[in-house]
Amino acid sequence: METWRDLERDLEDMREYYRHGKTKEASWRKSQLKGLLTLLKEKEGDIFKALKQDLGKHHVEAFRDEIGTLTKTVNTALESLKDWMSSKTAKLPRIALQTSAEIVPEPLGLVLIISSWNFPFGLSLEPMIGALAAGNTVVLKPSELAPACASLLANAISTYLDNKAVKVIQGGPSVGEQLLQQRWDKIFFTGSAHVGRIVMSAAVKHLTPVTLELGGKCPAVLDSLSSSWDMKVELMKNIIKEMFGENPKESHSIARIINKQHLLRLKNLLKDPHVDASIVYGGSVDEDNLFIEPTILVDPPLQAAIMTDEVFGPLLPIITLEKIEDSVQFINSRPKALAIYCFTKNKTLQRMMISETSSGSVTFNDTIIQYAADTLPFGGVGESGFGRYHGKFSFDTFSHEKAITRRSFLTDLWFRFPPWNNYKLQLLESAFNYDYLGLVLVILGLKRHRQRSAGI
Amino acid sequence: MNISMELLRNFSSVGAGASREFSYPFTRKTKQRQLSFVYLSRTSYSFKSCSATLSLTAEVEEKPKLDVDKAALLARELRKTFNSGRTTNYEWRMSQLKSIEKMLEEKENDITEALYKDLSKPGLEAFVAEISQVKSSCKLALKELSRWMIPEKVKTSLTTYPSSAEIVSEPLGVVLVISTWNFPFLLSLDPVIGAISAGNAVVLKPSEISPATSLLLSNLVEEYLDQSAIRVVEGSVDETTALLEQKWDKILYTGSARVGRIVMAAAAKHLTPVILELGGKCPSVVDSNINLQVAVRRIIYGKWACNNGQACIGVDYIITTKDFAPKLIDALRYELEQFFGKDPMESKDMSRIVSSSHFARLASLMDDDLVSDKIVLGGQRDVNQLKIAPTILLDVPEDAQIMQEEIFGPLMPILTVEKLEDSFKIIQSKPKPLAAYLFTDDEQLKKNFVQNISSGGMLINDTILHVATDGLPFGGVGESGMGSYHGKFSFDAFSHKKAVLYRSFNADASIRYPPYTTQKQRLLKAVINGDIVSLILALIGR
């Protein structure tokens, strides 16, 4: 546990290290990314164990959702780093004689990443990969609700990465508050909208830019696709049995609820008698083992908490509507979600979904998988957050794109200096319109000018 | 009681903006009250002639002040318009942009006059710095909008095979643009053009410190643009506060860091993303191996010929070597005379200070004991005309107030160092500025400068111009702000880039579903890494 003074001193050391410029070098960035790759490979077993302990996650699921995707991301970053770091030339009009313009990405400095407990490795390391690739020094605060993962991250990172540039600080809300009081060049937060507001408000003090990856009620719109809804529910029940067996609690393929507090929250969602009556499958809760079985509800009351708050648990309400197109209005009457899923072959409905709703992303005929697509930005809009990452977007999110223009002394547009007169005005007008012929005519004295008001 | 002709004549001669305290007794209905000039910016006049007394009288109609309730109503109204889909379609956006273009053509004289009233801005400066910039911004949007609106197709990999993906730009909704007084026309309309081209409804709050432009904007927007989606709210602190209580889908603020914090704090309550275009002390490092005349002209252009130093990207201070400083000062002296004549206070080509409070602030910077004996040029001031002559100070101490805050006026400190590389430490010890300038022929120095100095933007061997380049983003970093705009960056700033992934129902890889097995893990490893060879090996059981 760090004291306030220790923390401030450590952060100042990190800023000093950054100022020396080591983290800007491509070789350093590559070494850190390679370090992460080695970490993921060598600590795979320990990571699986920690996830099993904190979340009851099966190791193949852990691989699919966390280790596997992280490995892919590091490899992409290593391959693309040179390209990402290169400056981009900006186009200039012809009148900008002997001028060159480019955009140069530079690191922001010392950044803070606050991650969540549901994908404790993924949501910690995905942003970190971007931050390191962009040349920053990083402090990571993992969620205290997944303690085995947090302490593994702390140990592993101090072993595999540059200690002077990357630190993990563990703790709960009070540690979070202390960290938020410090000066950062960027804060990357994954979590709830409630805490998101606290993070952004704290960032105001130092005018720190933030990325907020929040949540929301992500809907899946299911078109008829040749079967009625009750047939679909039957199909769902069968597939659940296929995936998790007759007794899901015994299956090792399904994760637990993170802690008692969340379990009780979910249990309460089902308490309302109308909600309870709408359960068509599952519903049993085992408090001691932090287990809730996959539960399907059909048409629970819309004002119930289960339909107003983000569920974040194994309860799936199904809402039925007259026409599938009504789903657009249904979605639009609620805060913008992080993702919208839509299962349909109907191209018109697809177009409607895209152009008439707003969300972080839209995925057709699948779920979740957009998380693994490096070329698509991952982030929210409205209540689901702002800012984005994944792939090159991670690099950009932790960079400042500096605009640079270089001029020569040889040519000068002398008519942009006072003392002012009408001749200069005419030349300027032609220049701004990129009217090269007009420019020549003015110089030759062949262009008549417009009457302008006083002040010249 | 009505205002008499006499008072009207006095009023019309007041061209000096909000700096004049103008009050007069005035009766409306049966109440008597004092009005100060600030309120007049929100009033409109209707004239009545009375044949009996042969006088012209004016009745003051005060526009209703915007309070929290009215602000909420306004936001609701615009949201309704946005939700109806009106602003989203291409034709609407183009029609609004075309109207702005028309407005710039037809009202150019009115705009120039308003800028002169507010800032004594020379007509040519008004044209170059504001009107033509807005024109070219509008033109670019008109030309490129259809291209900007096309979804961007992106590649997909084995990980999501089979699939196709694109990034769709969609409007954010209802946005708020708060602008400032130094380039009141440009900094109001440029972001508004971005917001409209991205398909949003917009509320613009211009600065009350430039009231003539604020009023003109209010009238022009009402005359030329779609009132159901684009509105101007005039006023000062109260009105801005009322607006900030509402939920907006984005806020773009141009101004000081102090108010930038207030804006961001208000935005945090609604999780509203913000763009803050702030300022900073923009340094200009000057080497000795340059074409001195051209460099000095460009420096003057970037300070005194640009709103008289009142620009966020204006040159705040100069750093040069001890040896070169005298030459530089002589060149500046000479060129300043070429630009503004022997007595710059008489020159029509120099803007005045915007208000008496800013004048007082600048005067106190000059009168500071630590620097008052360091003035090597200028120092003249005229409080009635709100003019301060171009003033150069040599080797002011680091802890003087003039080196602690953004000057935003015609005072130019020159700091000297032994070697030019020492300038880097000075710049790095201050908050990151919006722009940094370097005048040199030394390629290595240029490289080091770019590598080691962080700023919003940079310009080598010139000043100001980099923001007139559409292809470059304009924005700050650190204390100078967050986010950027100009050109396509404006369109992007006011858009949400929605990720869209299309998956096919064919070929469903059951390897990602439970029950989980080691074989599935092997296959997943290959697929996630996009590694075809491993995939084949895993499939055949290796």
Q: Give A365's contacts (C-beta < 8 A, 6+ positions apart).
A: A342, A343, A344, B502, B503, B504, B505
Please identify among residues 190-249 of chain A the ones whose CB lies closer than 8 Å to any CB of chain B. 193, 196-197, 200-201, 203-205, 207, 209, 212, 214, 243-245
CB contact under 8 A, B501 and A388: no
Structure confidence by residue, pLDDT tens digits, A254-311:
899 999 999 999 999 999 999 999 999 999 999 999 999 999 999 999 999 999 999 9
Joined tokens for residue B148:
């900007």
- Residues of chain B in contact with residue A401, where contact means CB-CB under 8 angstroms, are 473, 484
Cα separation, A48 vs B521, whole angstroms: 13
Q: In the structure, what pLDDT confidence band is assigned to residue B42 with cuts at 50, 70 and 90? A: very low
ipTM comes to 0.90
A362 near A338, Cβ under 8 Å? no
Give the model's pLDDT for residue B41: 35
Cβ <8 Å between A386 and B305: no
Predicted pLDDT at B23: 31
Residues of A (5-34) whose Cβ lies below 8 Å from B:
19, 21, 24
Query: Which tens digit of pLDDT belongs to each residue from A120-174?
Result: 999 999 999 999 999 999 999 999 999 999 999 999 999 999 999 999 999 999 9
Quick check: A157 contacting B, CB < 8 Å? Answer: no
Question: How is residue B36 written in tokens?
Answer: 């100060």
What is residue B8's predicted lDDT score, i.e. its pLDDT?
Answer: 35
Render pLDDT for A31-45 as a digit per residue (tens, 0 to 9).
999 999 999 999 999
pLDDT digits (tens, 9 = 90+) for A95-119: 777 788 999 999 999 999 999 999 9
Q: How far apart are CA A443 and CA A424, in angstroms?
A: 10
Cα separation, A219 vs A317, in Å, equals: 10
Taking residues B150-156, what's their average pLDDT?
95
List the single residue in B with minimal CA-CA distance to A384: B271
| CA–CA distances in Å: residue B417 to residues A166, B320, B382, B474 | 36, 6, 33, 30
| Residue numbers in A near B117 (CB within 8 A) | none
* pLDDT (0 to 100) of residue B21: 31
Preferred mutation among B112, B500, B505, B531 to probe A, highest tally of A CBs within 10 A? B500
Under an 8 A CB cutoff, do B160 and A373 touch?
yes
Residues from chain B that touch A403, judged by Cβ atoms under 8 A, are 456-458, 466, 469, 472-474
CB contact under 8 A, A204 and B265: yes
CA–CA separation, A157 and A386 (whole Å)? 28
pLDDT score recorded for residue A1: 52
Rounded Cα–Cα distance for residues B249 and B242 (Å): 16
B411 DSSP β-pair partners? B391
Inform me whether the pLDDT recorded for A403 exceeds 70.
Answer: yes
pLDDT of B294 > 80? The answer is: yes
Q: What is the pTM of this model?
A: 0.88
- Interchain contact B478–A (C-beta under 8 A): yes
With a CB cutoff of 8 Å and minimum separation 6, the contacts of A415 are A423, A424, A427, A428, A431
- From residue B340, alpha-carbon distances to A412, A456, B117, B282 in Å are 19, 14, 20, 23
Is residue B350 within 8 A of residue B122, CB to CB? The reply is yes
Report the gap between the CA of A208 and the closest CA in chain B (Å).
7
In this predicted structure, the answer to whether residue B160 has a pLDDT above a threshold of 90 is: no
**3-state class of A397 per DSSP?**
helix
From chain B, pick out residues whose CB is under 8 angstroms from the CB of A108: 477
In this prediction, residue B7 has a pLDDT band, given cuts at 50, 70 and 90, of very low
A314 close to A294: Cβ distance less than 8 angstroms: yes
Q: Between B37 and A50, name the one with better pLDDT.
A: A50
Instruction: Tell me whether A424 touches chain B (CB under 8 Å).
Output: yes
Chain B closest-CA separation from residue A161 CA (Å): 23
Q: Which residue has the tokens 């030349």?
A: A427
Does any CB of chain B come closer than 8 Å to the CB of residue A393? no
Asked if B498 lies within 8 A of A381 by C-beta distance, the reply is: yes
CB hemisphere CA count around B363 (13 angstroms): 14
Count A/B contacts: CB-CB distance under 8 Å: 304
Sequence-distant (6+) residues with CB within 8 A of A429 are A435, A438, B127, B132
Helical spans, DSSP H, in A161-225:
173-181, 193-203
B312 contacts B434 by C-beta, under 8 angstroms = yes
Q: Which residue shows structure tokens 């029940």?
A: A237
Best of A48, A51, A52, A60 to disrupt the B interface by mutation (most B CBs within 10 Å)? A60
CB contacts under 8 A, A 433-452 vs B, are: 452
- HSE-up of residue B403 (Cα within 13 Å, Cβ side): 19
Nearest to A253 among B338, B451, B516 (CB): B516
pLDDT tens-digit map of A45-93: 999 999 999 999 999 999 989 999 999 999 999 999 999 999 999 888 7
Verify whether the Cβ–Cβ distance A355 to B170 is below 8 Å. yes
Which residues, 6 or more positions from A371, have their beta carbon under 8 angstroms from its beta carbon?
A: A69, A378, A390
CB pair distance less than 8 Å for B268 and A200? yes
pLDDT classification of B542: cutoffs 50, 70, 90: low
Which of A150, A208, A149 is CA-nearest to residue A179?
Answer: A208
**B285, B439 in Cβ contact below 8 A?**
yes
Q: Would you list the DSSP string of A279-293?
A: EEE---EETTTTEE-
CB-nearest partner of A370 from B112, B483, B499: B499
pLDDT at B121 over 70: yes
Average model confidence (pLDDT) across chain A: 92
Comparing C-alpha atoms, which of B323, B321, B302 is closest to residue B313? B302
pLDDT at B467 over 70: yes
Annotated catalytic sites of B, by residue? 277, 312
Q: Do B349 and A418 touch (CB under 8 A)?
A: yes
Quick check: A449 pLDDT over 90? Answer: no
